[in-house]
Amino acid sequence: MKKILLLFIIISSFSNAQQRCNATEKLNEKLANDPVFREKHNRISQLLNRSDVSFSTNSTNVVVTIPVVIHVLYKTAQQNISDAQINSQIAILNADYRKLNADFSTVIPSVFQSFGADLELNFVLAKRTINNQFTTGIERKLVASSFIFDNNYYTADGLPAWDTYNYLNIWVGRFSDTTLLGFAYPPGALGLPYDGLCIGDQFFGNTGTATAPYNKGRTATHEIGHYFNLAHPWGNGNGATGTSCGVGSNSDGVADTPSTSAPYDGCPIFPDNSKACAATTNGSMFMNYMDYTNDACMAFFTAGQKIRALNALNGTRSGLTTSLGGTALLGTKDYDNNFVFSLNPNPANESFVISSPHITIDKVDIINSLGQIIKTKQFAQNGVAIEIDDLTSGIYFVKLYNNNKMLKTERLIKN
């Protein structure tokens, strides 16, 4: 059965080996020992999960490019996975998140197909660093045989994250416990050094070291769902049907995914009500990417999950929507300089000034860590001081505009 190390939620108890996912241990460790994570996780989760708050957009056919950095941490030559294996996973993510996967119509029962959604996310390997230098989006490092991948992937002994506001970081390596597949943190981890996806090389892509029945790239699809605030259909899960099944924390907060009490595994036969909170003719939606079935037996996200994911994307993870990480450098000085901006001082106390060598910034939006615009300022030239003495200390995003065209998002620290 599929045993995924999930840091997104605390799984209370299951009567099977899925307890070995260590979610409770890992999440409690961060909540107990990292007060920054604890505060952000609680605050952001409360906001993103409120029914009366929405950061999603009503526009359609607006595909957002997500720049991806792959950090390969290997102990043997075999674990130093090929570019082909990495590219296969990127292709799978794009098929799954755009509802272009070839198995949609064969895996998803006809009664559920109308629920399927194109999440309009396109994943690309990063083409430029945060400092506007060329990159392939892949970095590799040989680590010691004693290296504990799931604890140290983001440290100096591993490979530190690139700016988590502008890149989706994916670490690929080998877990000491080979029953573990991968884990990702929810939006509350934004800006923290471990934010991103940590995944075993045997469950990454569909070639090379990828191993059945998790060799179709769906572990990354599932975990990146958590990165965008998607939960399991059973929520925190109580392991049994009852009055709390599908209610509150035992729900994924999505109306069009039938509530279940616990995960499905393997390849169930449709319809199946064995884990359903309430038996129905169609049974559970066990073929959803956020369940635990085998890779070959999951094949879609729903429209409700899309709304929840876009809330996270346009809210807490809005830096990804304007990141230039996935945009190639053209090699001409003037063009590249157009995308070079500086905010000084940064960190700032009372004000900051924007400068750029070749382009005028005529408007800025200042956005808090929850994705809310808290201040807008328009001006006719660069070099105008933008007052921030009324802001509380913390991390903010500054969106830069020219002629109503949004150019880039920069991070600002307010002392």
| Residues with catalytic roles | 223
Place of tokens 């949609």: 104
Rounded distance between C-alpha atoms, residue 343 and residue 395, angstroms = 14
Asked whether 221 and 289 are in contact (CB, 8 A), the reply is yes
Strand partners, 260: 276
Place of tokens 């800025």: 364
CA-derived radius of gyration, the chain: 22
Distances (CA, A) of 127 to 29, 82, 132, 134, 411: 35, 18, 9, 6, 20
Rounded distance between C-alpha atoms, residue 309 and residue 317, angstroms = 10
Place of tokens 């090379």: 208
Six token digits for residue 130: 């945060």
Rounded distance between C-alpha atoms, residue 287 and residue 285, angstroms = 5
Instruction: Report which DSSP code applies to 406.
Output: E
User: Dihedral through CA 34, CA 37, CA 39, CA 42, nearest 10?
Assistant: -130
Rounded distance between C-alpha atoms, residue 143 and residue 122, angstroms = 31
